[in-house]
Amino acid sequence: MLKNVAKIFSSLVDRLKTAKPSAKEVEEVLSDFYLQLVSADVAVETTEALINDLRKTLAGMKVPRFGDQEEVLRQAVRKAVESLLKEADVGEIFKRVEESRKTGRPVVVLFVGPNGSGKTTTVVKFAHYLRKRGYSVILASSDTFRAGAIEQLETLGQKAGFIVVSQHYGADPAAVAVDAVNKATSLRANFVLIDTAGRTEVDRGLLEEMRKIKRVVKPDYVIYTGDALAGNVAVNQAKMFDEVVGIDFVVLSKVDADAKGGSALSISHATGKPLLFLGVGQSLDDLDDKPVKRLLESIGVG
Ligand SMILES: Nc1nc2c(ncn2[C@@H]2O[C@H](COP(=O)(O)OP(=O)(O)OP(=O)(O)O)[C@@H](O)[C@H]2O)c(=O)[nH]1
Ligand SMILES: [Mg+2]
């Protein structure tokens, strides 16, 4: 997990720790660091923010004469990285359940994202996560577009013991979601999680379709699911979804399979949206709700 960025960070610390480097040497190291991060797919704006932060910290840093220079540097790097990573408060979602009990309407969460980014898997993992905490959940199969999508959610969802509301291929995705909300209301379920379609190309059509579902269903939260392996593309697509549909949180999937780490480091900074979870595998429990801790540890500064 994130081996490439972990190496880049440890080589930065190695190069700076030996003697007190001159300002010129620091600039050389930072300039190499910049190129390495960008080629590991860290977004340019995020790389720049990180370098500026580090430059300031290094200039003001008092390296202890006999102390552990390496540790001081590692802490400085940790602080700089930490300030880029925004984490969502999952407790906020639980609080919403209390409010929704009064109205009788479930908390509705809409999952959006490009083709193959992990939406369906994340929907079922999140349902499992909520159930473990005592909440009841109903799933909506609003991907009426891709062949096999309805069966995929039905199989995964029902195997895990959830009710899956579906219609037929070509049905209006918003109508499926409304059906699911009605069913959840009559069963007094706490959550409805809506799985939607992706497209190979994220085009206006897909974004408009998501916007329509959102307008009709009025979800409490919209969660963008991005594929860590897509690197910068995942970050840019998240921005497009946010502009047209509006997103609240980001889940980054397949972080377990990602060596580069670029999107993991930059997606919350570049989109301004907090990370809710990391997907770290294919089974139900492979959802990490402490993304910042996990990322800092993975890059060796945790
Ligand atoms: N290793 C790993 N694989 C994952 C993770 N999340 C999803 N996958 C796999 O990625 C593939 C695509 O996941 P889906 O959940 O079907 O993605 P999707 O966004 O629903 O795809 P479409 O419906 O085609 O748009 C599947 O084979 C999943 O098992 C993860 O966190 N780690
Ligand atoms: Mg899917």
Query: Domain span at residue 104?
Result: 90-298
62 and 111 fall within a common domain? no
Q: Is 61 in the pocket of ligand 1 (CB under 6 A)?
A: no
Quote the pTM value: 0.96
- Asked if residue 289 and residue 194 are part of one domain, the reply reads yes
Q: Give, in order, the Cα–Cα distances in Å from 43 to each of 47, 201, 224, 270, 293.
A: 6, 21, 18, 7, 21
Say how many domains are in the chain: 2
Centre of ligand 1 to C-alpha 175, Å, is 24
Q: Could you give the CA distance from residue 287 to residue 263 in angstroms, rounded to a whole number?
A: 17
Do 25 and 156 lie in a common domain?
Answer: no
Mean pLDDT computed over every residue of the chain: 94
DSSP 136: -
Ligand 2 mean position, distance from CA 155 (Å): 12
pLDDT tens column, 48-75 = 999 999 999 888 777 665 567 888 889 9
Q: 198 — alpha (psi -120 to 50), left (phi > 0) or beta?
A: beta
Helical pair 69-82 and 44-60, crossing angle rounded to 10 deg: 140
Please report the atom of ligand 1 found closest to the CA of residue 253: 31
User: Ligand 1, from 142, 253, 255: best to mutate by most atoms within 8 Å of Cβ?
Assistant: 253
* C-beta 237 within 6 A of ligand 1: no
Task: Examine the domain organization and report whether 177 and 147 are in the same domain.
Answer: yes
Contact present, 205 and 223 (Cβ < 8 Å): no
Backbone angles phi and psi of 112, in degrees to 5: -130, 160
CA of 108 to the centre of ligand 2 (A): 18
Q: In this predicted structure, which of 2-6, 71-75, 112-116, 161-165 has the lowest mean pLDDT?
A: 71-75
Q: What percent of the chain has pLDDT over 70?
A: 98
Per-chain residues with Cβ under 5 A from ion ligand 2: 119-120
Quick one: 124 and 195 in the same domain? yes
In angstroms, the CA 245 to CA 207 distance is 7
Which of 82, 115, 142 is at the close of a domain? 82
